[in-house]
Amino acid sequence: ECDNVLVLLSVSQRMSDEVTATGDTGIERGQRGQQTRGGHRDMEGTQRRHGSGVWDMGAGFGTWGACPMLTPALARPDNAVPGDVLVLTKPLGTHMAVTAHQWLDMPERWNKIKLVVTREEVELAYQEAVASMATLNRTAAGLMRAFGAHAATDVTGFGVLGHARALAARQRLDVAFVIHNLPVIARMAAVSKACGGRAGLLHGTAPETSG
């Protein structure tokens, strides 16, 4: 059994020019160490083998890691039947929460949303977004196999609407997906509305980062 892991890391804008110029954040050394060891177990049992890389992007780093093994009995994405229930395993609004947190230090942008959210609520939303992104989908995957899920998709760059449309288009049977209630990180819908629907959260097109 194995999880694929995709990690994007960047250097804080608050770091000094000297640090960002040298890229001495320890990321590259850590990646080299993993490649040298040939794979080890971390992140709650996720196995990572050769296949990690680091790219210098000037102000930050991007890293990726993937395990070449495939998990058996994966749910196919095209077997939905009438009567199935759609389940979203994580709340939406991660992108909006991270953006709002950045705006805490940008008075001009903070003024656009301060009437609908407090600084404390933004901090809580940010922590929930981080916890969501750091949580693996292993439990959800296990439940899908245990109860025979008929279809599945992630929700990432194209937002919940984009991925739902793509999933519906792949079904073998004539089915319609109806979405009427969605979990959203607290206050992030109001924040999105206050700043003119930024990032498309209210329209289902906001990018999300899953675990």
Domain ranges of the chain: 4-66, 94-203
Could you give the CA distance from residue 155 to residue 163 in angstroms, rounded to a whole number?
6
Whole-number pLDDT of residue 52: 37
- According to CATH, what is the number of the domain 94-203? 3.90.650.10
For 94, residues 6+ apart whose C-beta sits below 8 A from its C-beta are: 129, 132, 133, 185, 208, 209
Write out the H or E segment, with its range, that includes residue 115: none
Whole-number pLDDT of residue 70: 43
Whole-number pLDDT of residue 74: 64
Task: Find the helix packing angle between 119-134 and 94-103, rounded to 10°.
Answer: 140
Residues of the chain with confidence (pLDDT) below 70:
1-13, 19-75, 210-211
Whole-number pLDDT of residue 27: 55
Closest Cα to residue 192, out of 62, 57, 93, 73? 93
Task: Please count the other Cβ atoms lying within 10 Å of the Cβ belonging to residue 144.
Answer: 19
Task: Please count the other Cβ atoms lying within 10 Å of the Cβ belonging to residue 17.
Answer: 7
Q: Which amino acid is at 208?
A: E
- Which residue matches tokens 């939905």? 80
Whole-number pLDDT of residue 137: 82
pTM over 0.75: no
Whole-number pLDDT of residue 96: 94
